[in-house]
Amino acid sequence: MYQLGKGRSTEFRFLSYCALPLWRSARLEALPRAILGSQGMVVSSAQKTFYIETFGCQMNFHDSEKVVGSLISQGYRQVEREEDADLIFYNTCSIRDKAEQKVFHRLADFKKLHREGKRFAVLGCVAQQEGERIFERAPHVSLVAGSASYRNLPEMLVQIEGGATRVTGLDDRETDQTFETEFTARGNPHRGYITIIEGCDKFCAYCVVPYTRGKERSRTSQSVLEEARRMADAGYTDIQLLGQNVNSYRDPLGKTSFAEILAAIGELAGIRRVRFTTSHPRDFTKDIVDAIDAVPALCDHVHLPVQSGSSRVLSSMFREYTREQYLERIAWMKAARNREISITTDVIVGFPGETEAEFAETLGLLDEVGYDGVFSFKYSPRPNTPALQYSDSIADAEKSRRLQMLQEHQREIQRKSYQRHLGRKLEVMVEGKNAARGQMIGRTSQNKTLNFTTNGVPEPCVGEYVMVEVTQAFPNSLLGRMVEWAS
């Protein structure tokens, strides 16, 4: 799995960057020279150490990059093992079922280190969701902070260092401020993330995010573009814009729309790919498609969660669009004149009250859209959400049956659709090597994995771009042979 330090993540896969472990190859942006050694590593006499473990989505991963940078700027040094750390951070995610139970089990694992004088901090969504109950169930924890409070982390660290036993950052969900820092320890030297909007105002009936990450608040377009320029100047070629609903972005200065900021980043010198995730259909406008169609650096892939193919179920979910409105947005993408836009989505099966006929509507939507990928889940109740008031009358076994049926249905769609790439030459960004198979690992602009052989030519390095001819197609990946270096 992808690791930040030694920290584990449920969403990312570790890739070696020219044989350097991630925690050593992380780029430490804007760190004062006084704390940088000759090799770029932070040095200090009597230096404090920390360990961080990260679970969840790309937002959590990038939050941890910024937390790591903030800690290093405060004189801390990151270590690979919790046993070697003075301060242990656990960045949590509450999307999955029983997430809080997993957090407390992990904190119990950490407890044995408490008598050695180590301090513990719980960050992220479960921290905000459980609040001070964490102190009650895990008294060895010293800091509990939700993501809306990360900008106050330096001040909270001062309290911890001063001997405070309980420090909280739980009262900022109504803030208008975003977590902006000059210090970001980026784990990938070629692909980097920029959070442009935090929080969520959608309040979908099943989702806990508005209660854990607070209201929507956007960064200024000027701030976002300045960070993108710094990344381009530092050699990054692939930028991904992040937000719970990234296309709900609203420039506080009123100068730049989401589509315009996409295009502006895509036109920066040195930037070859720009992605964004995750979009909400309600705020997905045609000018986004027009920008993708017009700016070659904007990746021809859109992740547009639908959740259900039934308008009645969508209404019950508080999704604020109908099946027909969603399909209108799909039609915009399919009508693009210059790009073949790959579309992926999220689907929840077994939402309270979903009938067999409504589930069939979802299967029909998969056929109608022809998705290149579907992330599918069984409904599970989450704390504080409106759906807790619904009667969850669908048995878990039935939810599992529907999930398996949907996944098998989508697998057949992808088995056929991936065939369209056979014989094509596609540009891939090299992400690693599968030594056992003698294959390089690459990713296309459409976000498809394309493994390839080099036919005896020198192997490209991670982060380089090459052209690959597709020779085989599978439901979830492509196979090919390198034909030339990308221009």
pTM equals 0.85
CA distance 196 to 289: 19
Helix 258-266 / helix 286-294 crossing angle, nearest 10 deg: 10
What type of residue is 133?
A: R
Residue 394 DSSP code: S
Decide: residue 338, CB within 10 A, 0-12 exposed, 13-18 middle, 19+ buried.
exposed
Contact call for residues 347 and 358 (beta carbons, < 8 A):
no
Sign of the dihedral defined by the CA atoms of residues 130, 133, 137, 139, in that order? positive
For CATH 3.30.750.210, the residue range(s) in the chain are 194-299
Amino acid 333: pLDDT = 98
For CATH 3.40.50.12160, the residue range(s) in the chain are 3-169
For CATH 3.30.750.200, the residue range(s) in the chain are 300-420
List Cβ neighbours of 309 (8 Å cut-off, separation of 6 or more): 323, 358, 361, 362, 363, 364, 365, 366
- Fold designation for 300-420: Transcription Regulator spoIIAA (3.30.750)
Residue 227: CB atoms within 10 A of its CB come to 21
Name the token pair of 298: 């904007």
Helix (H, G, I), strand (E, B) or coil at 217: strand
| Superfamily per CATH, domain 3-169 | Methylthiotransferase, N-terminal domain (3.40.50.12160)
Does domain 194-299 fall under CATH 3.40.50.280? My reply is no
Contact call for residues 396 and 354 (beta carbons, < 8 A):
no
Amino acid 32: pLDDT = 36
H-type alpha helices, 112-208: 125-130, 133-137, 153-161
Helix 286-294 / helix 323-334 crossing angle, nearest 10 deg: 20
Q: pLDDT tens, 372-425?
A: 999 999 999 988 899 999 998 899 999 999 999 999 999 999 999 999 999 999
Amino acid 9: pLDDT = 34
For CATH 2.40.50.140, the residue range(s) in the chain are 422-485
Q: pLDDT under 70 in the chain at which residues? A: 1-46, 97, 171-173
CA distance 142 to 270: 44
Amino acid 33: pLDDT = 29
Domain 422-485: give its CATH architecture: Beta Barrel (2.40)
Strands 373-378 and 301-303: unpaired
Name the token pair of 44: 């200090």
Amino acid 116: pLDDT = 86
Q: pLDDT tens, 78-102?
A: 999 999 999 999 998 887 767 778 8
Contact call for residues 383 and 355 (beta carbons, < 8 A):
no
Contact call for residues 450 and 426 (beta carbons, < 8 A):
yes
Q: What DSSP string describes 80-137?
A: SSGGG-SEEEEEE--SSTTHHHHHHHHHHHHHTTGGGT-EEEEEEHHHHHHTTHHHHH
